Each structure stands twice: as structure tokens, then as C-alpha cells.
A and B are shown apart, each in its own frame.
Chain A
Amino acid sequence: MSTEDFAKTFDPHAVEEHIYAAWEAADAFGPSGQGASYCIMIPPPNVTGSLHMGHAFQDTIMDGLIRYHRMRGDNTLWQAGSDHAGIATQMVVERQLAAEGKSRHDLGREAFVERIWDWKQHSGGTITQQLRRMGASLDWSRERFTMDAGLSDAVREVFVRLYDEGLIYRGKRLVNWDPVLHTAVSDLEVVSAEEDGHLWHIRYPLADGSGHLTVATTRPETMLGDAAVAVHPDDARYQHLIGKEPTTTWTRNSVPAA
């Protein structure tokens, strides 16, 4: 019996990394060029990110599908790449600058962006290494980045074409505004949670001196921007007041009750 090359127990560490390296060296993950096309795009992880359980789960499923189809003889591509993750990445580098006592404004826009590219060069590959540890058979030779030259071309092309067709416009709208980062943010970047606060019941005197309306608000400071006071049209308590003008005593304008 030949037992010398068959370890008595399974030691994952003894096999995983050298097997992955051998696959990569043999260029085993690229499409074969033969058979029906099978392609999955990896949801590009943030370049700042590290692998969490959600990624690991999702990558297991994708790699399972990719390996299955590759073995079925399909022309199989698992497209690799990462996302530039605007705010997240900017903040990582801003924090580094802060540790040096500087802000991005000290550097200026061009130098700051340069610095982010530097950071990406040296520290942006964590998650791609971790994906390798998961055994993910991504075609690394085709790895893309959402800010690389080709993808930036695609972005400009799309923007210009949509603009020329009238599908992109500029307008003044209410947005989610982050007063620390000084930028609009998407709903996905806003986390709403219940917190303790107050409900202030504030009397708005009527302009004609005939009494007041009581308004309940959680944000008294924004009364400075009030444009109106509203009651339910069927609310018997307020029928006699509809059409009158309450006023926030110190501001310029009285506001119509509607």
C-alpha cells in the first residue's frame, strides 16, 4: 500500500492556498472559448471593503454555479471587479489625512484624487485576496474597476447620450443632505432608527388677534421656514379657523391656514 503521500487526516491549510495558486498559475478560470456562453458578473465589492458573511455566502453560490457550468462544458466567465465606492473611499483617505492634521481642502482636488489612487494601489486589494481564500474562480485577468479608463468612458458616453436625449436634467429638489459630508446621499445611505425626542405643542397666534392654533411638531427650529399650517378639512375643532392667517410671531410672514 502506498500511504506516504496520503495524509492521515485532512488539513485544509496544507492544501487550500497552494491549490488556488496552481489554478491561477494554470489560468484555469478563463472562458474556454468553446460551448454555450455562461456568464455571471460579480456584484462589485467596494474597493474599501473586506469580505463579510453576506459576500462569502453569495460568492459560494456564484462560484458553485460557475464551476458547475465550466464542468458542463460551457464557455464560462465569472467577471471580476470592484466598485470605487465614492463616499466610503473618500472618507477612508480623509481619515488618513486627518491623522496627519490635514484636510482634503489643504491638498486641493487634484492632489486629493491622486492620493486616493495611491491608496487604492496599496490597500485596495483586501477583498480580492479574501475572495481567493474562498476559492472563488473569478477570471482575474479581466478584473475591472468602476473608475478605470474604459468604464469611465462608458459612464461619460451614457451621461452625454441621456443628456442629449433630454433624459438627464438639472433641477432644484429636496434631497437627503448629509450636513457633515456636504453631499446629497441616496436613500440606501440613510439609516432610520427610532430615537427619543419630543413633540412640542406650539401656539401660533392668528394674525387678526382672534386667538391661536396649536401646532404639534418634532422640529420647532424649522418653523422659521413654515409656509402654511394645515388641519384636516373635516376636523370640527378647526372649521372656524380655515382661511385665517396664523403667524409665527417673529418671522416676516404670516402663513395661510388651509
Chain B
Amino acid sequence: MDPEFGSGCVKITPAHDFNDYEIGLRHDLAMINVLTVDASIELPDTPYHGLDRYAARERIVADLEARDLVEKIDDHKLMVPRGDRSHAVVEPYLTDQWYVKIAPLAEPAIKAVADGRIRFVPENWSKTYFEWMNNIQDWCISRQIWWGHRIPAWYDEAGNVYVADDEAAVRAKYKLGEDITLRQDDDVLDTWFSSALWPFSTLGWPQATPELKTFYPTSVLVTGFDIIFFWVARMIMMGLKFMDDVPFDEVYIHGLVRDAHGNKMSKSKGNILDPLDLIDGIELEPLIKKRTTGLMQPQMAPAIEKATRKEFPDGIPAYGTDALRFTFASLATQGRDIRFDLGRIEGYRNFCNKLWNASRYVYMNAADEDCGAEGGEIDRTLAERWIDSRLQQVTAEISESIDAYRFDLAAQTVYQFVWDEYCSWYIELSKVVLYDETSSAELLRGTRQTLVRALETVLRLLHPIMPFITEELWRKVAPLAGVAGDSIIQQPYPLADDSLIDADAIAEMEWVMAVIAGVRNIRGEMNIAPSKPLPVLLQDAADRDIAYLEHNLAYLTQLARLADVTVLETGAAAPESATALVGNMKVLVPLGGLIDVAAERERLDRELDKTGKELERSQKKLANANFVDRAPAEVVEKEHARVAELETALTNLTAQRQRLKQLQPDA
């Protein structure tokens, strides 16, 4: 006991306090029960008999005060245990219950995890498991309700207990004649008792079914950390006891889904999101109604309504199931908390749209055309060899991620491939061939074939995360790729073929992308219209650069909108240009005559002035102790981020202004 707490002197009430109960057992103290099942006082020889516990408290304190036995009363915050269903304050209470003697079951269950027959993912959850299992107490399995598995125990009039499947079995087993009256126990079993048998009872146990033989032990259990003890541990104990084997090889423990601010979602906080509302959408008013109806504390309704109006002024749009699933997958890190915010699901709805639009482009260009499904010579450019190589790499990465339960990484990999590589690059590159009237039949066939095959593969890669859109698109795309079948669901998951990885193609394509990206950046920085063809000079170009240039002139010209490309001789002087670096080679865009220097100067000066003023304002705000101390941390953090952003913008603008000055010294 803690001498610092209260008076340093405590009462021991073994029948009404868990700690005192243990002390009572150790010191053989009397267990004096003073409560009924309703938590009223049951002491017929006292004036408190029949009073509810709280009424009795008042009377007792009043009586003590009358005798001057109350020294003082302090306000005190304490942890109050309430039933999650009834919300009544739960009492430690002495009753007759049924128990499982747990130690003999726990020992093999500890061993199964210790020796690796069951593996926790992430691994550190095994520590939690061991901690619980090493401190395990006998399991109280009886409940005094009516709905559940009634305990198969019968009593005779003398109170002897008999246990068997049913009354007839009891009479047979214990040789009891019909003259003996038997009464079944009224209690039912804890719901977790049947849950503990779930991995084998569902497969037909106690019958020796083919399903048990085929599927037990199961492969993996996917669950939250809050029920490692209540469910996971008990399944392991029961599985080992009755099946003589572990119930699952792996346990994947995932985090808890929280709201965008990291708060636990709960009815009382009014921050619950219903997955079906994210799929189907919900207007603001029904959402408010849903969140404020049936509250335990109705006085919270106005605050909940206000917060909901602020966060969802237009309600929640319909995102569809695939976007929701992709969001969950992308959030499946190994952390304890999963923060769900609408920005992400919106991003992944856009991803669905991107995939849809790309598929539509492919379909429009491939349906009713020769895609090589029937054979025929094909020609492949660098773009085809590159996208096929990347597809193999991405396929391998995704399988590795899923095998390691890293759906977040799998989602990220497939997202980047589809968006950045297949859509932003490959589809654009394909247009160079498809829209060129001089393209050969072989080249057209090869391009179309790669477009449809890569897309068909991507759909299969994505299917486990986004089942609906991939099925819908696959049914349209698969025939073009020469793949037969009714549904993507039974199609083979893509396997990476390392022999298709062409390292040279990857290196060359990276060069092409770097040159195009360099020119595009210059356009952006110098505010040059995307439609304006630019002349480009290459300085310090090595032989490899020149070879790449010759192979890919068409791609460069079209995707970077080039007027012409000139390779500068070594040592040749270059005019004033904007520069992008690709390896050691410089990509130069001469700016003379390209931009309206006066207009650009004016624009930059205007931007510089505006950005400078905004920066000053933000810095002043942050220098103000009043603001920093009083504003919510989030707001202050936002202001800091804004300063950093403005500083970067200012640096960039200054550099651009500088460049303009180099171009035309009087600018």
C-alpha cells in the first residue's frame, strides 16, 4: 500500500474490491458480502438494508458525520468501471461461477509462439501476448443471461453436479435412475467460449471432415490488438488442446482506425464515419441526424452538429467501394493508428478515374484494331521494352509486399506505376506511334499489343485491392489482349518474368524522361506556353547521349515540343539559356526572343513583391508571443509550414529574376 495516498491507512473489504480480495485470500480474512444482485445493501440487521448502494452511501456518511467520525471529504477523480452495454457501474461481486483452469492450456500456447509455430506480424505483438499469457488467471466462462450456449451441467436435489451432452447422456454416464430429478444449470457460456473454437468448429469438428483436413491449421488470422488475449490466445489454447495443432500459422495484427485528427471514432464524440456512407455518399442533413440520434449524452448534439457542418459542409460524396478499399490498403502500415481522412479517399477516387480514362483510351485505340492477339509480326520501340521491363519489376515488388502484409507498399507501388509510368509516360509515348500515319503495321501492332497487355496485367495486379473497377475493365480489355475467361477473379496473378527486364531500355528511357522533364521544367519556370516549340542545345553530350538522341528524336520532339535539337561541339559557346542537367550533359533552351522580357520582368516583380509581403506578415505573426501561445498548436504549425513554403517560393522567384537579368542585363 502507498503511505502517500489518503491517510496512509486503508480499509480492506475483500468481497467488494479486487485488490482487497487478493489480500483477503492471502490473510484468510472474512469475505463479507453486503450487496444484492441489484447492488442494494443486504444486511437485515442494519438500518441500511434494502437501500441502493448510493442511497446507502449518503445515509452512512450522514450517520458518520452525526457521530463526528468524518474527518474530511476531498474532491477526488477516480476510475469508474461501467458495463459497456448497460452503462451501470460494475461491482466486484462474489458469486458462484464456472471457470476454466487455464495454466495447463496456457503453457503449450506460450510454447507455440515461442518456438515460432505461430508468428505475429508485426513481431513485437508477441511480447504483448507473452505478457498476458504469463499472468493469466482462470477464465470465468459462465454468464447469467438466457441467450447463449446453456451450460451442459445438471444438479440433483442434493446439489450434486453432473456434466454431459444432455440429460439422457447425464443419466447414462452417471447411472442415475429416472427417479432422480435433475435440473439444468441456468447459466450460459461466455460468448468468447464458442469464439475460441471458431477455427475448427466452423470446419465441422468434432466430426473428422475433409474441410478440417484441408484447411486446418488456417493460414493467417487478421485481427486488432485489442483482442489478442480475449480471442487470439484462447483460439491458440483450444486449437492446441483439441486439434493438437495451432489454429493459424500467422497472426497479422493491424492498427485502429481513427479520424483525421487521430481521435478514436465513437458515437459520443460524434466523429463516426460509416463505410457505407463513404461508398454511397450522404448529404449533410442526414449525416447530422445520424450522428446526433441516440446519443447517451444528448446535450452533446449541438457541438457534434457544429463540428459536422464545419468538416463536411457539403456532406460526403460517393467515393465507391474501390476507392475506399484502396485507401484502407494504402493506410495498412504496421503502425498502431490508422488515420482516415477524406483527402486520401478523394485522391484514390481520382486514381480510379485515371485508370478508367486510361483504359478507355486504350480501348478506343485497340478495339477493332489488330493488337497482335492472332499473331503477326510486331515491332517494339524503346517505350515498349521499357514499360514491359518496369512491369516485371513492379510485379515482383507488389507480390513481395503482399507476402509481407505490406498492403501500403503494394498500393503505393501500383499507384505510382499506373499513374506516373503507364499513364503519364507510356500512353503519351504510344501516341507518337499511333497518331503517326507513317507508322508501320508491325509498329502499330506492337504498340497496341503492349498497351493492352500491360493494362490487362495491371488490372490483375490491382484486383485484390480494387475488385470492382478491375473486373469491369478487365471484361472489356482482356479479349483485346487475347485472354479468355468470364471473370478476372479466377485469372492468374501476374508473375514477374526477369528475362523480360531490359536494363538498357530502362537506362535509355530514364534519359529520355530526364530530357523531357528538364525542358518541361524550364517552360514552367520561365512561364513559356506549353504549345510553343522550343529549340534545344545539348552541351557536353557524350557518345551515349548522342546515340540516345538519335534513337529518340521523335519522342523528344513531340513530348517536349521541340523545334529542333543541336548538339554543341566541345568548347563551342552557347547563348544565354535556361539549363537542365541530365547526367553530365546540359540541356539548354536559349531564351533570347522566346519570352517577352518586359512582361516577364513585370510578372516576376509583381510576384516577388506579393510573396515578400505575405512572408513578412506570416513571420510577424509567429514573432507575436500572444499568437504562438494562444492559438491551437495545429494553427501555429500551419503558419510555420506557410513560412517555409513562402521562403522557397521567394528563392525560386529570385533565381528566375536573376536569370532574366543574365539574359538581358538591363531587365
**Is A122 in contact with chain B by the CB < 8 A criterion?**
no
**Is B291 in contact with chain A by the CB < 8 A criterion?**
no
- Within 8 Å CB of B101, what residues of A? 166-169
Which of B14, B18, B45, B76 lies in contact with A198, CB distance below 8 A? B76
- Within 8 Å CB of B30, what residues of A? 227, 253
**Is A51 in contact with chain B by the CB < 8 A criterion?**
yes
**Is A97 in contact with chain B by the CB < 8 A criterion?**
no
How far does the alpha carbon of A161 sit from the alpha carbon of B486 in the complex, in Å?
Answer: 49
- Within 8 Å CB of B6, what residues of A? 199, 201, 215-217
How far does the alpha carbon of A104 sit from the alpha carbon of B88 in the complex, in Å?
Answer: 19
Which of B53, B191, B323, B464 lies in contact with A221, CB distance below 8 A? B53
Which of A38, A71, A228, A249 lies in contact with B67, CB distance below 8 A? A249
**Is B13 in contact with chain A by the CB < 8 A criterion?**
yes
Q: How far is the CB of A147 from chain B (nearest CB, A)?
A: 7
- Within 8 Å CB of B242, what residues of A? 158, 161
Select the stretch in B138-146, B522-530, B548-556, B558-566 that faces chain A. Answer: B138-146
Interface of chain A: mostly helix, strand, loop or mixed: mixed
How far does the alpha carbon of A154 sit from the alpha carbon of B376 in the complex, in Å?
Answer: 62
B149 and A53 within 8 A (CB): no
How far does the alpha carbon of A5 sit from the alpha carbon of B363 in the complex, in Å?
Answer: 10
Q: How far is the CB of A188 from chain B (nearest CB, A)?
A: 5
Given known A86-B147, A224-B48, contact A180–B84 (CB-CB < 8 A) = no
A230 and B10 within 8 A (CB): yes
**Is B134 in contact with chain A by the CB < 8 A criterion?**
no
- Within 8 Å CB of A162, what residues of B? 100, 241
B468 and A16 within 8 A (CB): yes
- Within 8 Å CB of A244, what residues of B? none
Of residues 255 through 304 on chain B, the ones whose CB sits less than 8 Å from some CB of chain A are 256-257, 265, 272-276, 279-280
Given known A58-B224, A205-B69, A214-B7, contact A230–B1 (CB-CB < 8 A) = yes
A65 and B324 within 8 A (CB): no
How far does the alpha carbon of A134 sit from the alpha carbon of B265 in the complex, in Å?
Answer: 20
Of residues 1 through 28 on chain A, the ones whose CB sits less than 8 Å from some CB of chain B are 1-3, 5-6, 8-10, 12-13, 15-16, 19-20, 22-23, 26, 28
- Within 8 Å CB of A60, what residues of B? 324-325, 328-329, 332, 465
CB nearest neighbor in A for B18: A174
Contact with A along B130-154 (1 / 0, CB 8 A): 0000000000111111111101110
B27 and A175 within 8 A (CB): no
Q: How far is the CB of B468 from chain A (nearest CB, A)?
A: 5
Contact with A along B399-410 (1 / 0, CB 8 A): 000100101000
- Within 8 Å CB of A155, what residues of B? 149, 189, 193-194, 197, 201
- Within 8 Å CB of A195, what residues of B? 77-80
Q: How far is the CB of B418 from chain A (nearest CB, A)?
A: 14
Of residues 207 through 237 on chain A, the ones whose CB sits less than 8 Å from some CB of chain B are 212-232, 234-235, 237
How far does the alpha carbon of A62 sit from the alpha carbon of B332 in the complex, in Å?
Answer: 12
Given known A189-B84, A237-B8, contact A68–B464 (CB-CB < 8 A) = yes
A160 and B165 within 8 A (CB): yes
CB nearest neighbor in B for A38: B219
Given known A171-B96, A202-B71, A224-B43, contact A193–B164 (CB-CB < 8 A) = no
Which of B151, B161, B360 lies in contact with A6, CB distance below 8 A? B360
Q: How far is the CB of A257 from chain B (nearest CB, A)?
A: 8
Q: How far is the CB of B321 from chain A (nearest CB, A)?
A: 5
Contact with B along A77-114 (1 / 0, CB 8 A): 10101011111111101000000000010000100110
Given known A67-B463, A151-B202, A186-B230, contact A214–B71 (CB-CB < 8 A) = yes
Given known A201-B70, A218-B76, contact A225–B81 (CB-CB < 8 A) = no
- Within 8 Å CB of A238, what residues of B? 8-9
A57 and B338 within 8 A (CB): yes
B493 and A68 within 8 A (CB): yes
B11 and A67 within 8 A (CB): no
Q: How far is the CB of B486 from chain A (nearest CB, A)?
A: 7
Q: How far is the CB of A237 from chain B (nearest CB, A)?
A: 6
A40 and B8 within 8 A (CB): no
**Is B356 in contact with chain A by the CB < 8 A criterion?**
yes
How far does the alpha carbon of A189 sit from the alpha carbon of B248 in the complex, in Å?
Answer: 26
Given known A40-B221, A72-B492, contact A1–B367 (CB-CB < 8 A) = yes
A180 and B70 within 8 A (CB): no
**Is B662 in contact with chain A by the CB < 8 A criterion?**
no
**Is A121 in contact with chain B by the CB < 8 A criterion?**
no
How far does the alpha carbon of A174 sit from the alpha carbon of B31 in the complex, in Å?
Answer: 10
The 8 closest A-B pairs by CB, nearest first: A216-B6, A12-B320, A177-B93, A71-B493, A179-B39, A10-B356, A56-B275, A154-B201
Given contact pairs A137-B467, A173-B140, a sample of 13 additional A-B residue pairs in the complex whose CB atoms are under 8 Å apart: A10-B353, A13-B280, A40-B220, A53-B275, A64-B407, A84-B148, A154-B201, A160-B152, A161-B242, A163-B163, A225-B32, A226-B12, A234-B3
